[in-house]
Structure 1
Amino acid sequence: MPVPVAPRRWPLLGHTPAMLTQRAKFTDALHEHGDVVRLDLGPLHAYFVTSPALTHEVLVSQGSRFRKGAMFDKFQPYLGTGLLLSNGEFHLRQRRLMQPAFHRERIETYAATMARAAAALAARWRPGEVRVIENDMQELAVTIVGEALFSTEMGRRAVEEVRRSIFTVIQQGMIRALSPSFVEKLPIPGNREFDAAITRMKAVVLQVIESWRTDGIDHGDVLSMLLLAGMTDQQTYDEVLTLLTAGIETTAIALAWALYEVGRNPEIEHRLHAEVDAVLGGRPVTFADVAFLTYTEQIVQETLRRYPIWFVMRRTLTDVQLGDVHLPAGAEVIVSPHALHHDERYFPEPRRFDPGRWTQEFTAGLPRGAFIPFGGGNRQCLGNTFAHTEIVITLATVATRWRLIPTRPARVKFTSAPYPDGLRMKAVPRN
Structure 2
Amino acid sequence: MARVEQDGTAVNAPVVPGRLPLLGHALPLWREPIAFLESLRDHGEVVRLDIGTWPVHVLTSPDHVHAVLVQQAQKFGRGRVFDRLRPMFGNGLVTTDGDFHRKQRRMIQPAFHRNHIAEYAAVMGRQADEMTASWTAGRAVSMITETRRYALASVAEMIFSGDLSRPAVAEVHRSLPVVLEGMLVRAVMPKALDRLPIPLNRRFDTAAARLRQIIDQVIAQYVAAGEDRSDLLSMLLSSVDAETGTTMSPEQVRDEVIAIMFAGTETSATTLAWVFHELGRHPEVEARMHAEVDAVVGAGPVRPEQLSALTYTNSVFQEALRLHSPLLFTRRALVPLTLGGVAIPAGAEVAYSPYALHRDPALFRDPTVFDPDRWLEGAKDRPRDHRYVPFGAGQHKCIGDTFAVAEILTALATVASSWRLVPAPGVTVRQVPAGIPQPSELPMIPVPRR
Q: 1:293 aligns with which of 310, 322, 339?
A: 310
Distance 2:380 2:90 in 1: 37
Q: Distance in 1 between matches of 2:219 and 2:190?
A: 35
Residue 369 of structure 1: how far off its partner (Å): 2.5
Q: What is the letter of the counterpart of residue 279 of structure 1?
A: V
Residue in structure 1 matching 2:389, options 367, 372, 384: 372
Moved more, 28-37 or 87-96: 28-37
What is the DSSP-based 3-state SS (H/G/I as helix, E as strand, rest coil) of the residue aligned with 1:326? Answer: strand
CA contact (8 A) 2:300 2:414 kept: no
CA–CA distance in structure 1, aligned partners of residues 89 and 343 of structure 2: 32
Which residue is equivalent to 2:429? 410
Q: Indicate conservation of the 8 Å contact 2:26/2:50, yes or no.
A: no
Q: Which has the higher contact order (CA 8 A, sep 6+)?
A: 1
Q: Is 1:83 the equivalent of 2:93?
A: yes
Residue of structure 2 aligned with 1:178, choices 181, 185, 188: 188
CA distance in 1, matches of 2:84, 2:300: 46
Q: CA deviation at 1:13?
A: 4.2
SS in structure 2 at match of 1:29: helix
Counterpart of 1:423 in structure 2 is 442
Match of 1:404, SS state, is strand
Q: Aligned partners of 1:233 and 1:56: how far apart in 2?
A: 35
Structure 1 partner of 2:157: 147
Would you say the 8 A contact 2:141–2:445 is kept in 1? Answer: yes
- Could you tell me whether the CA contact under 8 Å between 1:11 and 1:23 is conserved in 2? no
1:368 shift after superposition: 4.5
Identity over aligned pairs, percent: 42
Aligned positions of 1:29-178 closer than 5 A: 29-178=39-188
> What secondary structure does 1:146 align onto?
helix
Give the AA of the match of 1:119. Answer: D
TM-score normalized with structure 2 length: 0.91
C-alpha contact 2:275 2:316 (8 A) present in aligned 1: yes
Residues 250-265 of structure 1 aligned to structure 2 (within 5 Å): 250-265=267-282
From the superposition, tell whether residues 2 and 193 of structure 1 become closer, same or farther in structure 2 (CA, over 3 Å): closer
Matches within 5 A, 1:344-363: 344-362=361-379
Question: Residue 217 of structure 2: which of 207, 211, 216 is its match?
Answer: 207
The answer for unaligned runs of 5 or more in structure 1 is none
User: C-alpha root-mean-square deviation of aligned residues, in Å?
Assistant: 1.7
Shift of 1:239: 0.8
- Cα distance in 2 for partners of 1:336, 1:112 equals 34
Structure 1 contact 80–238 (Cα < 8 Å) conserved: yes
Kindly provide the amino acid, as one letter, of the partner of residue 431 in structure 2.
V
In the superposition, the TM-score normalised over structure 1's length comes to: 0.95
Cα distance 1:14–1:31, how it changes in 2: closer, same or farther (>3 A)? closer
Q: What SS is found at the alignment partner of 1:348?
A: coil
Q: Is the 8 A contact 1:52 1:368 kept in 2?
A: no
| Bigger mean CA deviation after superposition, 68-77 or 381-390 | 68-77
Which of 227, 238, 249 aligns to 1:217? It is 227
- SS of corresponding position for 2:302: coil
Is there any run of 5+ residues in structure 2 with no aligned partner, and where? 1-10, 240-246
The answer to which of 192-201 and 111-120 deviates more is: 192-201
Superposition deviation, residue 171 in structure 1? 2.4
Alpha carbons 1:84, 1:242 under 8 Å: kept = yes
How big is each residue's C-alpha offset from its partner over 1:2-32, in whole Å with a ceiling of 9 and x where there is no partner?
422212278514987xx2xx22222213222
Q: 1:183-228: per-residue Cα shift (whole Å, max 9, x none)?
A: 3222222222222222221221111111111121121211111110
**CA 1:295/1:368 → structure 2, altered by over 3 Å: closer, same or farther?**
closer
- Matched pairs, number: 427
Q: Which amino acid aligns with 2:447?
A: V
Between 1:190-199 and 1:219-228, the stretch displaced more is: 190-199
Please tell me whether the aligned partners of residues 375 and 382 of structure 2 are also in contact (alpha carbons under 8 angstroms).
no
Is contact 2:118–2:304 with CA below 8 Å preserved after alignment? Answer: yes
Q: Deviations over 1:152-184 (max 9, x none)?
A: 310233112111111212222222112232432
User: Quick one: which amino acid aligns to residue 422 of structure 1?
Assistant: E
* Corresponding residue number in structure 2 for 1:325: 342
Distance 1:102 1:133, change over 3 A: same
Structure 2: how far apart are the matches of 1:363 and 1:149? 41
1:413 counterpart letter in structure 2: V
The answer as to whether partners of 1:52 and 1:367 remain within 8 angstroms in 2 is: no
2:26 alignment partner in structure 1? 12
User: Contact (CA 8 Å) 1:310, 1:336: kept in 2 or not?
Assistant: yes
Q: Which moved more, 1:306-315 or 1:169-178?
A: 169-178
What are the Cα deviations for residues 226-282 of structure 1, in whole angstroms up to 9, with x where unaligned?
Answer: 110221011111111111122211101100000111112110111011111111121
The question of 1:274 aligning with 2:291 is answered yes
Structure 1 residue matching 2:422: 3-state secondary structure: strand
Distance 1:421 1:400, change over 3 A: same
